[in-house]
Structures are given as C-alpha cells and as structure tokens.
Structure 1
Amino acid sequence: MRVEMLTVPDCPNGPVLRERLALALAGHTDAEVTEHVVDDQAEAEQRGMHGSPTLLVDGRDPFAAPGTAASVSCRLYRGTDGRLGGAPSVEELRRVLGTPTTGGADRAAGRAGQGRLAPIEGGLRAVQQAVLRSFATTGAPPEQAELEAAADPFAVPAARVLAELAAEDFLTLDDTGRIQAAYPFSATATEHVVQITGGPTVWSMCAIDALGIPVMLGTDAVITSTDPVTGDPVRVEFTGGSTTWQPATAVVHYGARPGTGPAAAVCCGYLRFFTDRATAEQWTGRHTDISGAVLDQAEAERLGVDIFGPLLAAPAR
C-alpha cells in the first residue's frame, strides 16, 4: 500500500495529519509512506491534491468527492461527529487504510490524534514549553517564578494554565498542584531512563516518550530500559541522527488497558521495550485485558518523532 501526504509549505495541519497517520499505521508494516510539499497549482493538478493536507492511498484521495477540483488552499475535513478539522481522525484514517485498531493506545498516547502540542491560546503552549525546557535542562519541573513568567504575557495565573493543561492531558499534577509529569518527561523515577548528551539524566513516561525525547530536543541521547519478562536490558543510542538498538532484536509494545483517562493511567504502563518479539508476545499473553500491537524499531521511532518532534519546534505564540 502506497500512502502519500501532500501539503503546501508550512501547512499548520501537516503535522496533525502526520501524527494521526502514524497512529493509524501503528503495527501495520506493509505501508510505504511518503510526503511531498506542493508549491503551485500546476503541481497540485499533476499530483491530485485537493487542498492542504491531502492524503493519497495508492494514488487515490479517499476523502475527496468525485469532481473535486485540484487546489493548494487550506483543506478542512468533516468528522463523523459533524465537526470540521484540519485532518481526518485516526478512526477515519484506519477505515480508509484498512488497518486494525490498537484499542485505547492511540486515544491516550496521541490524545485521540489531537497531538501533544498545546494550543497557543491562553498561554497553554508557552507554559507547556517552559515546563518541557526545564525538564530538558535540569531534569525537573520549573520553579513557580518561571511558570508565572511564561504565563504573564497572557494575563493569566500560571496555576490556571497548569490546570487547563492537566485537564487536556498535556501534563499531570498531584493533589497540591505540582507537576508530576509533562509528556514525555516524568518527575519521578520510571524504568525508562534517558541520558541527554550534554544535559541531565531524565525519566520518560513510556517507551514511545523515551524515543521522542532526543528528537524533540534535537540532541544525542542514550535510552536504557528493561524487558519486563526477562529482566534483560534494552538500550537505544541516538547519535548524529542515527539509532542503534541493543539487542538488535528489540521491539516496543504499544497498548492500553480498557477505559478512558489520561495517558499516564491508561497506556503509559503498556508502552514498553522488549528484547524481542517473542518476549513481547509472552507478556501480552499474560495481560489479556490489554489491547495493542508489537511495533518494530522503525515504527516505534516514527511514533516518537510524530508525537513529540513538534513540541519545541513550534513557536509559543
């Protein structure tokens, strides 16, 4: 299956479609995914682009009505709930791609395909990025003064912004309002340790989060974790844009338990590294209530890039 994304330069909904596509294709290995930036109307007509972003599956646009004209304009999609958005939902993408569901994993890990980049409005993105940068440079959440400084240009108290970020599952708070986690970082110890080259050692919330940290920061790093079945170590080294996995057979399970809730509760415990597919399948056999898929290294890395890559690249306002 050939899957092609067409966007105009700097299309704001390109990253949205890219992340939702990665979630829809999780565990599906026979798709060839490419992207093309279209600069003018003539190229849009040549490639079959019906607005930005457009998705072509084996050369056909499954979301365009017959006779739709080629266009480089901004494109909107109407979801099954009647709402308009900048990209099809994960469920709609799965329908046209014919890919199986991974249960609740995509709903939680990727916020139902809405992405982990907070909106600009109300200081949400500014505060989110201040939190992420603090973890990246100190290994811990920022002090209150730093949070207030990020929220001040928007004339809102930092506590209110944090509460909104928590309500939308961009981060989690304890009972006193202190930051417990800001995906991909955890303020408390987890089994997923990321040594940032030239920076601190941090914990991630899950395997996919760990893989997203070096890409989000644009830096080298070493991830260490443990296979929950054998207790053997798994190591992923990011060096100069390349990755090395040890052992070479290592995989990631991408799953979730039934129900709804924040990613920290629903899926973070089920997105884990394994030394090979056999131990991953052995573990899932013991947890029959968990739905999901076993991802190879390329698929797991792609999810880390698509979910967390844009978080610090996008401006705060």
Structure 2
Amino acid sequence: MPGAPAGASCRLYRDEQGRADGAPGVGVLRAALDSAKECCDDQLLDPIGRAGRGRRAPAERGLRTVHQAVLRHFATTGSAPSTSDLEPVAAEAGRTARDVLAELAAEDFLALDTEDRVRVAYPFSAVETPHRVRLGNGVEAWSMCAIDALGIAAMLDQDVRVTSSDPVSGHPVTVSFTSGAARWEPEGAVVFVGRRPARGPAADVCCDALNFFADRTTAETWARRHPDIPGRVTDQAEAVAIAERTFGPLLAEK
C-alpha cells in the first residue's frame, strides 16, 4: 500500500528488543549468517573430528592403548609400528593386534594398506606427503595434512617445526612451535580447510584439501581451480585452534 513501510511478504520479524517489524534487523541477519557458517564448518570439519566424536579412541577393547602405542611409535621413530610391535599391547586386552587395528581402521582412527599395515595414524603418515615435521626430540615424520601437522606440538607437548609448500606458488611455508607459541613464515601464510563431497575416511575425502598457502591470494586461487572441493581459508590462529582441539587430547592418560 502507498505509504506503508517496506516488508517481506506478510511476515513479521522481531528485533533485539522484541518489537515487530516488516524486515529482519541487522542483528537477526548477522545471527543467521553466523549459524550458517557454523553449519558449514561442521560439515567441513566432520571427517577431521569424526562427526563430533573426536579422534581419541575409546578405552574399551584395547582400542585406546593400541592407538596410543601407534602414535608414540611414530613420535619416537618417525615410522609406523609393525603388527608384532603392537602384539604385547593388544594382548593386555585379550586381543590380537590385527583385530584391534582393523577396528580402529573401521572407525577412522587410522588407515591400513592392502597388507593390513598401518598407513595412516592421524596426524602421522607412513608414506611421503607434502608436510614434513621435525619433532623436538630430533625425529622427523610425515604428517597427513596441514591441520594434522599443526596439532602435533600440542599432542606431544614438545617443540615442533613443520615444513610444507604452497601448492600454487611452490613457496615454502614453515611453522615453528616453541614452548607452545607458533611462528609462521611467511607471516601472511594461511590454511585452506576443505573436503570432498563424499563419504569416507579423512585420508580419502579431506587430507589433500587441507593445505598451507603462502598467502590468502594463492589459497583463493587454489579454491577457484578446485570448485569441486568446498572449503574456506582460515587464518593462523583458527587453524592452530582447530588442530589443537582435534589432536591435543590423543595421548592423555585419562
């Protein structure tokens, strides 16, 4: 009607003070956008955090003790343990190492190769990846992705140096953790967090879509070149927070 205030159809919206209006206020729109972002983030991080269940294996059936033994073996040798290395730990739960590893793989705590050997134990990889990690104890190991690499310092509670490269420019990217503080080179480096729109273990659907970039420009270039991989650019603080939340608790005793 002429002279009537603008509105969206005949819907009424309430502002922060509860007053009715014909259009949503800025606060309402901001809340809706924040909610949509959280939903998107949940979907992106779903394989990283196992649908909110986390990456810390349950204590039952020897799962946690074997899982932690695998991670500690990587941390002390840089390589995956053999099945025979894990037999004494699995035996404490009255099981074989092969059975426990199969259950851990089925729940995506780790991944096995075609000969049932440990291929992946997030955050570590038994095979070469773009992400090399030098631990404070001098051991060097491969990490599955950028987020995994950033979580190792918190998981092991030791200094760590991560070396990677920008997939677009080839520019080296390093992150050095000293007493819990992270120093990034270059200073404008970022992380792209993405996942393929498919079901499966993190190693298959998201690990190659979680990369370091020298700056936001190259990250956005990579995203445009891979429209089939939904994701977003995260700054340094957020990337480290995601990593610490995901991997920090893995070796806790309780």
Q: TM-score, normalised by structure 2?
A: 0.84
What percentage of aligned pairs have identical amino acids?
54
Offset of residue 104 of structure 1: 4.4
Per-residue CA deviation, residues 174-220 of structure 1 (Å, 9 max, x unaligned), is 11100001000000110100000123101100000000011100000
Is the CA contact (8 Å cut-off) linking 1:102 and 1:291 kept in structure 2? no
Cross-structure match for 2:143? 204
- Runs of at least 5 residues in structure 1 that lack an aligned partner in the other structure: 1-93
Cross-structure match for 1:42? none
Does residue 1:261 correspond to 2:186, yes or no? no
Residue range with higher mean Cα deviation, 154-163 or 143-152: 143-152
Offset of residue 96 of structure 1: 11
Cross-structure match for 1:98? 35
Is the CA contact (8 Å cut-off) linking 2:160 and 2:177 kept in structure 1? yes
Offset of residue 143 of structure 1: 3.0
Offset of residue 153 of structure 1: 1.4
Does residue 1:150 correspond to 2:89, yes or no? yes
Offset of residue 105 of structure 1: 2.6
Does residue 1:107 correspond to 2:59, yes or no? no
Is the CA contact (8 Å cut-off) linking 1:130 and 1:146 kept in structure 2? no
Instruction: Work out which of the residue numbers 86, 90, 100 in structure 2 matches 1:161.
Output: 100
Is the CA contact (8 Å cut-off) linking 2:84 and 2:97 kept in structure 1? no
Cross-structure match for 1:124? 63
**Which structure has more helix as a fraction of its residues?**
2
Q: Quote the Cα distance in structure 1 between the aligned partners of 2:98 and 2:181.
A: 39
Cross-structure match for 1:91? none
Q: Quote the Cα distance in structure 2 between the aligned partners of 1:103 and 1:152.
A: 37
Cross-structure match for 1:25? none
Offset of residue 293 of structure 1: 1.3
Cross-structure match for 1:171? 110
Q: Quote the Cα distance in structure 2 between the aligned partners of 1:249 and 1:302.
A: 17
Offset of residue 314 of structure 1: 3.1
- Runs of at least 5 residues in structure 2 that lack an aligned partner in the other structure: 1-30
Instruction: Work out which of the residue numbers 180, 184, 209 in structure 2 matches 1:245.
Output: 184
Per-residue CA deviation, residues 237-275 of structure 1 (Å, 9 max, x unaligned), is 001111100000000000001110000000000000001
Instruction: Work out which of the residue numbers 298, 304, 315 in structure 1 matches 2:237.
Output: 298
Q: Quote the Cα distance in structure 2 between the aligned partners of 1:99 and 1:296.
A: 19
Is the CA contact (8 Å cut-off) linking 2:195 and 2:229 kept in structure 1? yes
Q: Quote the Cα distance in structure 1 between the aligned partners of 2:234 and 2:215.
A: 10
Cross-structure match for 1:83? none
SS in 1 for 2:85: helix
Q: How many pairs are equivalent? A: 222
Per-residue CA deviation, residues 51-79 of structure 1 (Å, 9 max, x unaligned), is xxxxxxxxxxxxxxxxxxxxxxxxxxxxx
Instruction: Work out which of the residue numbers 153, 175, 193 in structure 2 matches 1:214.
Output: 153
Q: Quote the Cα distance in structure 2 between the aligned partners of 1:287 and 1:314.
A: 41
Is the CA contact (8 Å cut-off) linking 1:104 and 1:291 kept in structure 2? no
Q: TM-score, normalised by structure 1?
A: 0.68
Cross-structure match for 1:50? none
Matches within 5 A, 1:1-317: 98-100=35-37, 101-102=40-41, 104-315=43-254
SS in 2 for 1:154: coil
Indicate the structure (1 or 2) with the bigger Cα radius of gyration: 2
Offset of residue 292 of structure 1: 1.1
